[in-house]
Amino acid sequence: MSDKDDKTEKPTPKRAAEARKKGNIPKSAELVSWIAIYAGASVIRSTTVKGGRFLQQLMGEAGELMAAPDQIRAMKFMTGSITGAFKLIVPLAITFAVIGIIGHLAQVRFVLATQSIKPSFSKINPLKGAKNLLGPQSLFQAAKQLIKLIVLSYVAYRTLWDTVINLSANGPYSVGTLITITGAAVMQFVKQVALVGVLIGILDYLYQRRKVGKGLKMSKEDVRQESKGQESSPEVRGKMRQRQRQMSQNRMMASIKDADVVIVNPVHVAVALTYDAEKGAPKVVAKGAGFVAEKIRERAEEHDVLMIQDVPLARTLHQVCEVDDEIPAELFEGVARLLAFVFALKAKGSGIGQHKMPGTPDVEEYERDQAREAAAEEAKAAAEQRFGTPPATAADLADSVG
C-alpha cells in the first residue's frame, strides 16, 4: 500500500495551523473578483449614468471652448474634467476594494503567511513544473478557462446582437440616448458574465478546499508521533501538571466533608484529618496555607466539620505530611490528645464550630517562643564560633583545664 493510501486521518489542529503559516489555504482569487464585480454592478450602473451626463457636459463645454478659445476657461475645463473623472472612479474603486477584502477574509480569515513568499528552489524546479503541467490541477484550470471562454463569447454575442437589433429597429438616437442604451447593454453583459464567474469561482473554491484537505491528511502513525511530540513539549507538560493539580485540589476539597477534624493555625494553615481505628493511623485528607486554608475552613463550616486551633500541631502536620499520608509515629501522641478532645466535644454535643486545644499557645505566644528559640540557637552558634564548642560534662571541663 502506498504512502498516500495510508493518509486517511484528518489533519490535527497543529498541522492545520502550520499549513496556514505556510500559506497552504484553500482560496479562490477568481471568486472574490467576480463577487466584487457582481456586487458592484449597481455602482457601475450609477457610474455609467453619471458618466454619460458628465460626457455630455464635457462635449458641450468643449464645443463652446473651441468656438471661443480662452486660456482661463481652458484651465477650468481641464481641472473640471480631471475632478469629475476622479469623482466617478473613486466610489467604484472603493466598492471593489472593500468587497475584495471582505471576500478574501471570508475565505482564509486573517493570516500572514510569510513562508509562502520566501525564495525556494522547489518553486522554480523545472522537473516539478513539467510534472504539474499534466497534473489534475492543470487539467482543472484548463477546463475552467475553456468554460469561461465559451460562456464569455456566448454572452458577448447575445448582448451585442440584442443591442444592434434594438438600435436598428428604433433609431436614430441622440448621443445621450445612445450612451444610455449602450450603458444598459454593458451592465447586462457585466452582470451575466459576473454571475457565471461567481459559479465558476465557487466550484474553484470547493476544488481547492478538497485539494488542500487531501494534501493535509495524515496517517495514523503521523497522528501518534505528533501526539507524542506535543505531550513532550514544555507547554503541554505545564498544562497537564496544572490540570492534575486542579483535579487533585478538587478531590481534596470534596473529601473535607468526611473529615473528623480540621486543625487550624487558626488563619494561615489548615489540615483536615480522618481517623478509622480499623484502618490504622489517622490520615491527612486535605491541607493548605493562605487562600487554600481559607477554602478548607469554609468547606468545613459548610459541612459542620469540627475545627480545632492547635498552632504547633497544625504547622508541623502541614510541613511534614502530604495529602493521603498517614501521620508519622512521632506525632501520634499529639494527634491522639487532639482526637480525644474532639471525641469528648462531640460526646457533649459541641462537635461543630471552632475550639481551642487546651494547653496550646496562641499564635502570638507560639511565634514569640519560636523567635526566642531561634535567637538562642543563633547566640549559641555565635559563641561556638568564637570560643569553640563548650564542654558537655564536668569531666570534659576538667580535661580541658588540665
Contact 291, 317 (CB under 8 A): no
Task: Set out the domains of the chain in order of their start, with CATH numbers.
Answer: 10-226 (no CATH), 252-363 (3.40.1690.10)
Report residue 147 CA to chain centroid gap.
42
Distance of CA 264 to the CA centre of its chain: 42
Burial string for 278-291 (b: 16+ CB within 10 Å, else e) reads eeebbbbbbbbbee
The per-residue pLDDT for 1 is 45
pTM of the predicted model over 0.85 = no
Selection from 126, 154, 112, 142 nearest residue 207 by Cα: 142
Per-residue pLDDT tens listing for the chain (402 residues):
445 556 777 776 677 667 666 666 767 767 777 777 777 776 766 676 677 677 777 777 777 777 777 777 777 778 877 887 777 777 777 777 777 677 666 665 555 545 544 555 454 555 555 555 556 667 777 777 788 788 778 877 887 787 777 777 766 666 667 767 777 777 777 778 888 888 888 888 888 788 777 777 777 777 677 666 555 556 766 777 788 788 888 888 999 998 999 999 877 899 999 988 888 889 999 999 888 999 999 999 998 899 999 988 998 999 999 998 999 989 999 999 999 999 888 888 876 788 888 888 877 777 776 677 677 777 777 766 766 655 555 455 445 444
- At 270 the pLDDT is 92
Residues in CB range of 304: below 8 A, 6 or more apart: 351, 352
Confidence at residue 400, expressed as pLDDT on a 0 to 100 scale: 45
The Cα–Cα gap between 325 and 31 comes to: 67
Question: What is the predicted pLDDT for the residue at 68?
Answer: 77
